[in-house]
Each structure stands twice: as structure tokens, then as C-alpha cells.
Structure 1
């Protein structure tokens, strides 16, 4: 029997990041041996066990074969003759397919610390690439969301998705396999991604791949307007920088559905209906849907508190139930501030683009002295006014 630390713990150790959970693979063991050692099996037909003391997961080395649709459409084979190489080959990304052997089931001290790397994970960490292990990647549609989530997690570290992996992700989407994923699993991946350091990257990647056309149709339609998509992506980036909670980040994402918040005329009734529809189809917790709907309907007041009359302030407190939960009002005010910050940022980025787009070659070459600066300024103003 050999025991290996595998997956994310190895990856994050190599990246110098905090290790949250440890997962282990046991090679050469049987279910009876694991139970005799005091481990608790998770599920009747799945060879994963909880350590009797640490409660960490220990899985028998296994292989999987695709038999149906979705991420559940697999038959699992676990036996003492399944090798570590076989087990690691079924994993999604090379950076998640490495292992370090430890002493035993009850001692996770590394034997040597050497990394077992059959599929190039060390090189891909060095090159900062998220790459699939094998063509078996295409058998599990959940991996589209997982790779996008890992991308959002490691984007700030300079990681990119390998072009050949993007091709497989696109093929999975086109095949319709994502439609067989449960709403619960989609929400699990999406909520975790929304709390990463670059949540905008997850949603942007799924939008570009065409993966928002099932559970998030209104969002996909809203982002067909580049102005809205880019502004909301910026809000999510700022939200992560300011460490906003999931309710706040979800409300900012759902603000995409309210065009009136982006200088267009629209009725918030439609937006709140879309928020509820997404909440129902993607199994979003009701508290998040309610917070997002409240944010959409009250944003004008939240973002312009200084202009509110005394009566309007009292009405806002009533609408937000702030007399019962002051923290919610504080969260709503911060969320409104972040959205306004993103709108202001986009406006100034457009202005900066106009500034750089106009140069000396765009004005009268015969101008001299101060008139050159005046002409450049006027040309930049005129260009910005056309945007």
C-alpha cells in the first residue's frame, strides 16, 4: 500500500500558496482494508473515505469510464491493481495531476518530497499554463466551469488557458453536454469562482465561450452590449479588490440585467424578473436573489444619498429593512459605490483612450508654440464626444 498527497495541495504547495484541504490517493488497497483501519466510506459505491481523526479524504486509486451524460455519467473502477499513473490520468489539468508520497495512512509526512509528475504539471506551473491532462477531459462537462474557475483564481499570477484546452472546452459547450449538469453543481462552481481574486475572468471566459446560454441566458443577452459587459467585469474586479462578500458580488453581476444603470432607459421590473429567473434556474440561494433585487430597485437612491430628502431617506431605510438589519444597508451602500466607481472608471478609460489616440500627426502641421497644445486638446475633446 502506498499513500500519496495529490491534487490541489501539491499544486498550491509548489505555487507557494496556502493549502486549504489535503486529498490523498491510496494505491494497492481495498475497501475492506480501509474500513478495517477505521476509515468511513463516503457513499456506497464510491471509493472515497474519511480519515478517522483528521476527516481528510483518502480515495482508492481508480479509473473512470464514460457511460452517460453529464459529470455523473461515469462508471468507477477501483482495485489494488490501479496504478497512480492511471489515477492521475483521469484528472482535469496537469497542474492538478501531481502527487507526493507520504509515509502512511496515519502519517502524512512526505517520504522524500519528490513530486510525481507524469503529465507535465511542473513545466506548466513554470510556464503558468492551465492545460488538460488527456482527451478524457472532454468526457466531463463540469470541467468547463472548473477550468474557468481556476483561471479566475490564478489570473493575477499570470496564468493562461492553453489554446488546445480552450478548443476542448468549446467543443463540450457546442455538444450540449453542459445542459446535463445539475443546477446545484453549476452554482457551486460559479459561486466559488465569484469569490476568487479575479471573478470577472470566470464570467468573461464563459461568455466568450458561449457557456452562459443555458442557466444564465439573460446575462448572456445583456453582455452582448459591450459597454455593459465591460463595466460589470470592472465592478467584479473592484469588488474582489475590496473583498466584498458573495451577496454584494452577485448583486453587481446581476446589475448587468438593468440597462438603466448604464445610461439606458429600462424598467427595473424586467430586471428583477430576470434576477429571479436566474436564481430559480441556477439554484441561487434566495437571500442572494433578494439582495440583488433590492440593490437593483434601490440603486438610484443608494448612489445619491446626499440628494435625498429626509422623507426619501426614511423610505429607503424602510425599503431596505435597515431598521432591523443596519448591516444590510451598509453593504448596499458599498455595493452602489463600487458600481459607480466602475462607471466612472470606464468613462475615464474612454477619455484616456481618446487622449492617446490623437497625436501631433492629427493636427495642422503649421501650428507653432502654445497653439499646438490647444489644437491637441480640442481634437481629443472632439474625439471623445463622438464615443
Structure 2
């Protein structure tokens, strides 16, 4: 019997990141031997056991064969003759398919510093690549979401999705296999992705590979507006930097359904616009639809609906009349507990800050877009600078007109 530390713990140790959970693979053992060693079996579909003391997971080495649709459509084979390499080969990414041998079932200290790496995970860590282990990747549609989530987790460390893996993600999306994922599993991956360091990249990766179209056609339609997509990307990025909660980040994502004129117009004028109730209703309806599709927790959906309802008022709360302020306080029960309303205010300001960042990006882009070749060659001195600035102003005004 040989026991190995595998997967995320090996990966994160190499990356110098905190290790949250440790998973182990046992080679050359059986269910009977594991039970005799005091382990508790918890896997119904394949043999996974909890350590009697640490409660960490130990799984018998296994192989899988595709036998149906979805991420559950597999036949699992676990026996003493399955090798470590065969077990690692069924994993999604090379950086998750590494192992380190430990002393035994009751001693998790590594035997040595050797990293067992049959599929090039060490090289991919060096090159900052998220790359699939084998073409068996396309047998499990959940891997599209997992890779996108890992992208959001490690992008700030310089990692990107390998082009070959991105192609397989697109192939999986096109195949219709994503349609067999349960709402609970989609939300499990998506909620975890929202809490990563770069949550916007999870949704961007799903959009780029066509997976978002299968999971949420309405959100895909909203993201076809580059302005909306860029705004939400900025806001989600800020949500991580500001350590916002899951419900705040979900509300930001649902702001994808806010019409751009609703966000980019002057809030005071927008608040008096007769079309606002209709815009809010559409925003809320799309939010409710996705909540039902993915079985979003009720508290998150309620927060997102309140966010849509009071966005314009909360964007200039200090300037509201006394009646308006007290109405919102009553509706959000802030007179009993102010945290909800404070969280709503913070989320609104995150969107508005993202809007300013977006405007800054565009202004800088237009500033650099002016070239000396674009002006009259006979101009001299200060005339050159004036001419270049005029070009920049025209480009930026044209861009802002699109808002």
C-alpha cells in the first residue's frame, strides 16, 4: 500500500499559498483494508473514506469511463491494481495532477521532496498555464466551470488558460453537455468563483467559450454590450479588492441587466424619468429568472432585487428628501439593523466607481490614440500639442456619445 498527497494541496504548496484542505490517494488497498484501519466510508459511487482522527479524505486510486451525460455519467473502477498515474490521468488540469508520497495512512508527513508529475504540472506552473491533462477533459462538462474558476483564482499570479484547453472548453459548450449540469452544481462552482481574487474572469471565460450561452442566455445577451460587459468586469474586480460579500458580488453581476443609460445618465435626471419603473421591473425580472434557474439562495436574490429597486436613490442618498430617506430606511429595516442598507450603499458606490474607472480607461485610450501623423505636417511648436489634444477630445467625445 502506498499513500499520496494529491491535487490542490500539492499545487498550492508549490505556489506558496495557504493550504485549506488535504486530499489523499491510496494505491494498492481495498475497501476492506480501509475499514479495518478505522476509516469511515462516505463515497456512495466510489470508495472515499474519512480519516478517523483528522477527518481528511482518503480515496482509493480509481479510473473512470464515460457512460452517460453530465458530470455524473461515469462508471468508476477502484481496485488495488489501479496505479497512481492512472488515477492522476483522470484529473482536469496538469497543476492538479501532481502527487507527493507520504509515510502512510496515519502519518501524513512526506517521505521526501519528490513531486510525482507525470503530465507536466511543474512546467505549467513555471509557465503560468492552466492546461488540461488529456482529451478525456471533454467527458466532464463541469470542468469548463472549474477551469474558469481556477482562472479567476490564479490570474493575479499571472496564470492564463492554455489555448488548447480553451478550445476544448468551447467544444464542450457546443456539444450541449453543459445542459446536463444540475443548477445546484452550477451554483456551487459559480458562488465559489465569485469569491475568488478575480471573479470577473470566471464569467468572462464562460462568455468567451460559449459556456455562458448554455448556462444563461439572458446574461449572455446582456453581455453582448461591450459597455455593460466592461462595466461589470470592472465592478467585480473592485468587489474583490474591497472584500465585498457574496450577496454584494451577486448583485453586481445582476447589474448586467441594468440598461446602460440607467447607469451612465445623471442619476438625478434618471430618477425623475418616467421609464425608470419599467427599467427596474425588467432588471428585477431577469434577476428573478436567473435566481430560479440556478436556485440562488433567497437572501442573495432579495438583496439583488433591493439593489435594483433603490439603485438611483442610493446613488445620491445624502441628497434625498427626508421623506425619501426614511422610506428607504423603513423598507430595508435599517431602523432595526443598518447593515443591509450599508451593504447596499457600498455596492452602489462600487458600481459608480467602476463607471469612473471605465471612463478613465477610455480617456487614456483616446489620449494615446492621437498620433503625430494625424495632424498637419506644417504645424509647429505649441500648435502641434493643440492639434493633438483636439484629436483626443474629438475621439473621446465620440466614444462617450456611445454611452
Indicate the TM-score class for this superposition, using the shorter chain for normalisation: over 0.9
Asked if 1:2 corresponds to 2:5, the answer is no
Question: Post-superposition shift, 1:380?
Answer: 1.5
Question: What is the TM-score when the length of structure 2 is the normalising length?
Answer: 0.94
Point out the more displaced range, 258-267 or 369-378.
258-267
Q: 2:343 and 2:57 mapped to 1: Cα distance?
A: 36
Matches within 5 A, 1:233-382: 233-259=233-259, 260-263=261-264, 267-382=279-394
Q: 1:213 and 1:296 mapped to 2: Cα distance?
A: 23
Contact 2:176–2:214 under 8 Å retained in 1: no
Question: Post-superposition shift, 1:297?
Answer: 1.1
Q: 1:82 and 1:20 mapped to 2: Cα distance?
A: 27
Contact 1:8–1:22 under 8 Å retained in 2: yes
Q: Deviations over 1:90-137 (max 9, x none)?
A: 101110000000001111000012111111111111111111111111
Q: 1:221 and 1:254 mapped to 2: Cα distance?
A: 13
Q: 2:249 and 2:105 mapped to 1: Cα distance?
A: 41
| CA-based RMSD | 1.3
Q: Deviations over 1:139-186 (max 9, x none)?
A: 100000000001111101111111111111111111100000111110
Question: Post-superposition shift, 1:373?
Answer: 2.5
Asked if 1:73 corresponds to 2:96, the answer is no
Q: 2:21 and 2:168 mapped to 1: Cα distance?
A: 28
Q: 1:54 and 1:352 mapped to 2: Cα distance?
A: 54
Give structure 1 regions of 4+ aligned residues with deviation exceeding 4 angstroms. none
Identify unmatched segments of 5+ residues in structure 1: none
Identify unmatched segments of 5+ residues in structure 2: 266-274
Q: 1:44 and 1:369 mapped to 2: Cα distance?
A: 79
Contact 1:255–1:261 under 8 Å retained in 2: no
Q: 2:136 and 2:338 mapped to 1: Cα distance?
A: 51
Q: Deviations over 1:195-246 (max 9, x none)?
A: 0000000000101111112332221110011100111011000111111110
Partner of 1:214: 214
Point out the more displaced range, 93-102 or 156-165.
156-165
Point out the more displaced range, 256-265 or 77-86.
256-265
Partner of 1:13: 13
Question: Post-superposition shift, 1:285?
Answer: 0.7
Contact 1:228–1:262 under 8 Å retained in 2: no
Q: 2:137 and 2:378 mapped to 1: Cα distance?
A: 63
Q: Deviations over 1:286-339 (max 9, x none)?
A: 111110111111111111113211111111112222123211111111111110
Q: 1:321 and 1:364 mapped to 2: Cα distance?
A: 63
Q: 1:213 and 1:373 mapped to 2: Cα distance?
A: 47
Q: 1:44 and 1:160 mapped to 2: Cα distance?
A: 35
Partner of 1:88: 88
SS in 1 for 2:24: strand
Question: Post-superposition shift, 1:37?
Answer: 1.1
Contact 1:6–1:98 under 8 Å retained in 2: yes
SS in 2 for 1:213: helix
Question: Post-superposition shift, 1:383?
Answer: 1.7
Question: What is the TM-score when the length of structure 1 is the normalising length?
Answer: 0.97
Contact 2:199–2:237 under 8 Å retained in 1: yes
Contact 1:63–1:82 under 8 Å retained in 2: yes
Partner of 1:109: 109
Asked if 1:165 corresponds to 2:165, the answer is yes
Point out the more displaced range, 242-251 or 207-216.
207-216
Point out the more displaced range, 145-154 or 314-323.
314-323
SS in 1 for 2:54: coil
Aligned residues: 387
Question: Post-superposition shift, 1:377?
Answer: 2.1
